Structure 1
Amino acid sequence: MVQKFNEHIVKSLPFLKEKKLLVACSGGLDSVVLTHLCAASKFDFAIAHCNFSLRGAESEGDETFVADLASQLGVECFVKQFNTEQEAKTKRLSVQMAARELRYQWFDELLTSKGYDYVLTAHHADDSLETFLINLSRGTGIQGLSGIPKMNGNIVRPLLSFSREEILEFATLEGKEWREDSSNASIKYLRNKIRHQIVPIVKELNPTFLQNFQHTQHFLRQTSDLAHNYLEELKSKLFRQRDGAVAIPIAELQQLNPLDAYIYGLLHSYGFTEWNDVKDLLTAESGKQVFSKTHRLLKNRDFLILAEIIPEIKGTYNLHLDKTSDGLPIKIQLEEVESFEKQTQNVVFLDMEKLIFPLVLRNWEKGDYFYPFGMQGKKKLSKFFKDEKMDLISKEKQWLLCSGDKIVWIVGKRADERFKVEESTRKIVKISWLK
């Protein structure tokens, strides 16, 4: 198996030979075999062991076993003990999900603090089959049927092409020791039930089932990659950047067929799950929204506006002359200048003697009005926003620069006529929005 492992690395993961690696080792069969294979292949690696404190003395025994294994192989061993049950209770997660989050968070910390490049985990072909069946039972798209990815960021799984049977045979023939996790025998967990009660039956029906499944998943991944590449190309045409958000033209979206598949393909990576609600936005009134944990989707006239959910920054901030905007929500600079230049959306020139310092940066409020530069008379901001066809998200992010209770500048949009530079102006202030 060592030779086969090395051939697999050379063919599929050659970069691992030159990197500093962390091998996630629980002490169980799969991770112990991966550790020995890395040692036999002369990888530059250390071991990382998570003690989730879930099985009392058995968990402590696993930790001791892994530490002894690292010592035998002459590699460094990092160990972290977690109060997993408390974490699950605090975050209202299942114990398994809490353990997973703790594990990968710690791995990220180790990679950063210790200078390692990748974490290797011992997922193998049978794990991928079990994941396929779990996702199939719950309902999933093609990505969920494509199995466990060989790489996911800095997580690499070099045993995915090997079966549990191959791993066990290697460990037995080589006389390797490992720890048995008693919880793996319990069928109260869905994965274990599939592992012990379903997979043996399908393998008995067809002795080459696992190999055939691996071929099928290979084709599914290729199909998934094709769909992904096409959807990314489509996104570059449909997704239009606007004020820190993305505008998607509804008319063009509705021309796609099958529409449901396109909506899912274009938006599922943003965390949306209520697909009927998302589709209903296409014909809803302006202002209707659908939320995921990370993003919001807003119907605004002829567009869907996709934006990341960012905690609102509210309040008022003072701005002084010749000081940059350290500590402010946006970067504004005020400086006295001798000459007047052409104003732009991001730079305005005002009569300093008409201003009351410090100027105030604040959010817009209902009832706000100003005197648009170049025009006579005042205008409510709500009307100005409507004329500018600003959507709800853009309005929520809009900042105003004020002198006392008067609006000086709708930042990045329009200055106020009352503060403009005139022939009688003696002092000019240049105000820049440093985007």
Structure 2
Amino acid sequence: MAVFIWRSLSLLLREIGQFIRSRVLIPEGSGVLVAVSGGVDSVVLLHVLSRLANKHRWRLAVGHVNHAMRGEAADEDEAFVRDLAATLKLPFRSVRLDPELWKSPGNKQEKARRERYRWLRTWAKEERCESIATAHQADDQAETELDRLIRGTGLDGLGGIPVRQGCIVRPLLETPRAAILDYAQFKKLAWREDATNAALAYTRSRIRHEVLPVLETLRAGAAERIAQATERLAEAGEALRAAAAILLQQNLTQGVGAEWRVDTERLLSLPIGLRLAIWREALRLMRGGALRRISAAHCYAIDHLATSNAMGPVALPDDGRVERAGGTLIFYPSPEDNGASYEFELDIPGDVAFPGGSLMSWRASEGEELVFTDPNQAYFDAEAMGEAIVVRSRRAGDWIALPKVGRKSVARLFSDLKVPHSHRDRIPLVVSSVGVLWAPGLRRSQLAMVTEKNHRIVGMKFCRKLSK
């Protein structure tokens, strides 16, 4: 991560632009839905992106979610953002949530976050935007990291707020709040103040107003330094998880039922940190990518089961369990996980494991011989394959555009190919913002087809996990 020296506001603009380019957050000529609350961070984000849009041929749109939690003030925020979008002559989308949502039990902040992102994704699709830009900045990253540290989170949590999360991008994540305020004041930008941000009812608010200022007196630029350390931890976590996924696939078989079996013979000599990561990846795979209610204690218990004479079982949430039979760990999913849907993000280049196998992606090099005869391998035009690429199980309403056939439902495709009903939920689909790209081993769609004119090509290879 570059250490920013804020010599001038023009340098700030250039540095943000360079950050976007270096991380390939917003491709040239693509659409971006900018999430704008009306606060100073999101107003500056919109202003910066609008300044850079012509150079990079970006199509901008503005989205605002009125959570209806603050009465007239929330409605005034919505009106402010609407006027701002009109001033910039940008498409505007908004929704006012039903106040009844907040009367039901549960964490209000989490429910608000889910609703916010649900609407943003809907609008991005309708506006044909490949990316959704949010205004999280360096101080937000520092607050998140400190909050998770005092909660005792694991390495995944210490990775903080990701720069990219599917189609969600965060162009200001290396920019400190002070620089954002300086920019807004110098440009004489107007913004809205949320009075609840000054309240100390939430832990995050107390970290922002009481803890970070003290840290700044101890070390100037503390928030930026914490954000930098967070990214290092995120990189280490990604490397550990990738290594764990590879080792897991090398020692994994699917049982005759819904269980997964891990041969531990070659794993027990590995460092404990790597073993724990492998057990965590096995749980992630078994539970369709979700680790809800899984803690470090579960992974340590599984490791004790693997390395001792204990017979187990290790009880998991929702009645799942792990047992040992000789040198094999057997992961039994809960009734909820058995046949459950799954979804995993696919980085390019990168690899991902999922129920039924794994998939590897790479950027084809110039002169590479492309193999089109293998049904488990496919190539795509990188410029046309869309954003937010995931590997997931089928969903109601899925369709695939087939060469010479046209649009066909995935359900009909499985039926035509006589895929057993018991296997259909485990067949992976490679899906992006433009639709279903590939049903590995079955059919490749006509989307993002490779031609002689393509200069950027992405290759993918599917490795099926055979039942034991």
Compare 173-182 and 139-148 and name the one that shifted more.
Answer: 139-148
Deviation at 1:333, TM superposition (A): 11
- Unpaired stretches in structure 2, ≥5 consecutive residues: 1-11, 285-289, 340-410, 424-468
Structure 1 stretches of 4+ with a deviation exceeding 6 A read: 330-334
Pair 1:20 & 2:40 matched: no
Inter-partner Cα distance in structure 2 for 1:171 and 1:9: 20
CA contact (8 A) 2:279 2:303 kept: no
2:82 matched residue in structure 1: 67
Whichever residue aligns with residue 187 of structure 1, its letter is L
Q: Deviations over 1:195-250 (max 9, x none)?
A: 00000000111113234323323322332222122112111212223455422135
Pair 1:153 & 2:166 matched: yes
1:258 matched residue in structure 2: 272
| Higher RCO by CA contacts (8 Å cutoff, separation 6 or greater) | 2
Deviation at 1:296, TM superposition (A): 3.3
Q: Deviations over 1:19-68 (max 9, x none)?
A: 11111100000001101111111231111100000000100100000000
Whichever residue aligns with residue 70 of structure 2, its letter is R
CA contact (8 A) 2:241 2:277 kept: no
Whichever residue aligns with residue 243 of structure 2, its letter is Y
Pair 1:299 & 2:323 matched: yes
Q: 2:22 aligns with which of 11, 32, 36?
A: 11
What are the within-5 Å matches in structure 2 for residues 176-195 of structure 1? 176-195=189-208
Deviation at 1:266, TM superposition (A): 3.0
CA contact (8 A) 2:261 2:331 kept: yes
2:430 matched residue in structure 1: none
Deviation at 1:285, TM superposition (A): 5.3
CA 1:257 to 1:166, structure 2 compared with 1: closer, same or farther past 3 Å?
Answer: same
Q: 2:46 aligns with which of 35, 40, 43?
A: 35
**TM-score, normalised with respect to structure 2:** 0.61
CA 1:64 to 1:217, structure 2 compared with 1: closer, same or farther past 3 Å?
Answer: same
| RMSD (Å) for aligned C-alpha atoms | 3.5
What are the within-5 Å matches in structure 2 for residues 288-367 of structure 1? 288=313, 290-292=315-317, 296-299=320-323, 301=325, 302-307=328-333, 309-310=335-336
CA 1:267 to 1:126, structure 2 compared with 1: closer, same or farther past 3 Å?
Answer: farther
Q: Deviations over 1:52-92 (max 9, x none)?
A: 000001001000000000000000110011125x33443x3
1:247 matched residue in structure 2: 261
How many residues are treated as equivalent by the alignment?
Answer: 324
Quote the sequence identity (%): 26
Q: Which has the higher helix share?
A: 1
1:127 matched residue in structure 2: 140
CA 1:308 to 1:156, structure 2 compared with 1: closer, same or farther past 3 Å?
Answer: farther
Inter-partner Cα distance in structure 1 for 2:332 and 2:263: 11
Whichever residue aligns with residue 263 of structure 2, its letter is P
CA 1:258 to 1:40, structure 2 compared with 1: closer, same or farther past 3 Å?
Answer: same
Q: 1:172 aligns with which of 170, 185, 198?
A: 185
CA contact (8 A) 1:289 1:297 kept: yes
CA contact (8 A) 1:22 1:118 kept: yes
2:64 matched residue in structure 1: 49
Whichever residue aligns with residue 95 of structure 2, its letter is K
Whichever residue aligns with residue 246 of structure 1, its letter is W
Inter-partner Cα distance in structure 2 for 1:62 and 1:262: 44
**TM-score, normalised with respect to structure 1:** 0.66
Inter-partner Cα distance in structure 2 for 1:124 and 1:332: 50
Deviation at 1:251, TM superposition (A): 4.8
Partner SS, residue 63 of structure 2: strand
2:108 matched residue in structure 1: 95
Inter-partner Cα distance in structure 1 for 2:283 and 2:60: 36
- Unpaired stretches in structure 1, ≥5 consecutive residues: 314-326, 335-345, 348-360, 364-393, 395-435
Partner SS, residue 28 of structure 2: helix
CA contact (8 A) 2:41 2:135 kept: yes
Q: 2:73 aligns with which of 49, 52, 58?
A: 58
